[in-house]
A = this chain, B = another copy of it.
Amino acid sequence: MSPDEISKMLRRVRQGKLSVEEAVDRLRTLPYEDLGYAKIDHHRSLRQGFPEVVFARGKAPEQVEGIVSRMLANKHNILITRGDEALYERIVRLDKTAEFYALSGAIAIRRDRKIRGKGKIAVVCAGTSDIPVAEEAAVTAETMGNPVETLYDVGVAGIHRLLSKSRHLREARVIVCVAGMEGALPSVVAGLVSAPVIAVPSSIGYGASFRGLAALLGMLNSCSPNVCVVNIDNGFGAGYLASVMNRL
């Protein structure tokens, strides 16, 4: 609640148009809905045309179904991340337009297809095995109203594959860059462009990759200053943040 809204409400109290009790309530009530096991926050989507998002892992299928049912009451896009085939079967029964992305487990219900991003978001990944994380980022950015271009398998060991695509990189307004193993790709990509680069370490690798820790540390230590980092395998976060930037 902004100071303006508080002023307006207080004036209505002085004018006797609003009871003291009700005003106290309003000051305490906020725009979320309580399902007991979850509190759905319509706040962000209400304000900004953002999708409503459910992180499926660690939730029972019935819980996800219950949450989505409520979300369908308004008209926003809905994005479910880290789901699976079985969950999709439940969701598509709630809404026939639901789409399933098998590699990442994402499920999207798009009811608002307006383009809101001001430019193109490029989603780049280093190896074939990083595609699931890249897909999650791409689906997220698309569901949030952005044109997305994907560039897969352009790791730094064959730098010519990457350089041959540098025009595509330079055309993007924001870049999401996924890499496992040594996680060197974002540094090189960021050196080729002046756009912000969101680096996503993937847990791809073995041995001393320590499930993405090597890539994470590499990205945090990037010598390119236009790089920032999100959590390991967090394609959703990268796609979301890219969308936020692309609306600036």
Chain A positions within 8 Å of B, measured between CB atoms, are 2-3, 6-7, 10-11, 13-14, 16, 20-21, 23-24, 27-30, 32, 36-39, 41, 43-44, 47-48, 53, 57-59, 63, 118, 126-129, 131, 152-161, 163-164, 167, 170, 173-174, 180-184, 187-188, 190-192, 194-196, 198, 201, 203-234, 236-237, 240-241, 244-246, 248
Closest to A206 in B: B233
The docked-state distance in angstroms from the alpha carbon of A233 to that of B58 is 14
A10 touches B6 (CB 8 A): no
* Inter-chain contact B11/A20, CB cutoff 8 Å: yes
Q: List 11 A-B contacts (CB under 8 A).
A: A30-B160, A30-B164, A32-B160, A41-B161, A58-B204, A156-B156, A157-B223, A158-B191, A182-B221, A214-B221, A217-B217
What B residues does A118 contact at CB under 8 A? 248
By beta carbon, the residue of chain B nearest A119 is: B248
- How far apart are the CA atoms of A30 and B161 in the complex, in Å? 7
Contact of A209 among B174, B221, B224, B229 (CB under 8 A): B221
- In the assembled complex, which residues on chain B have CB atoms less than 8 Å from the CB atom of A163? 30, 159
Do A14 and B16 have beta carbons less than 8 Å apart?
A: yes
Q: Which residues of B contact A126 (CB under 8 A)?
A: 223
**What is the CB-to-nearest-CB distance from A164 to chain B, in angstroms, rounded to a whole number?**
5
Q: Are B233 and A207 within 8 A (Cβ)?
A: yes
Known: A53-B225, A183-B218. 20 other contacts (CB 8 A): A2-B167, A13-B13, A47-B194, A156-B187, A156-B191, A157-B187, A157-B188, A157-B224, A159-B192, A181-B222, A182-B220, A198-B228, A201-B207, A207-B211, A210-B217, A217-B218, A218-B218, A220-B229, A228-B228, A246-B248
A225/B236 contact (C-beta < 8 A), A58-B129, A170-B2 known: yes
Cβ–Cβ contact A157 & B190, under 8 A: yes
Task: Tell whether A240 pairs with B221 under 8 Å between CB atoms, given A183-B182, A187-B156, A206-B233.
Answer: no
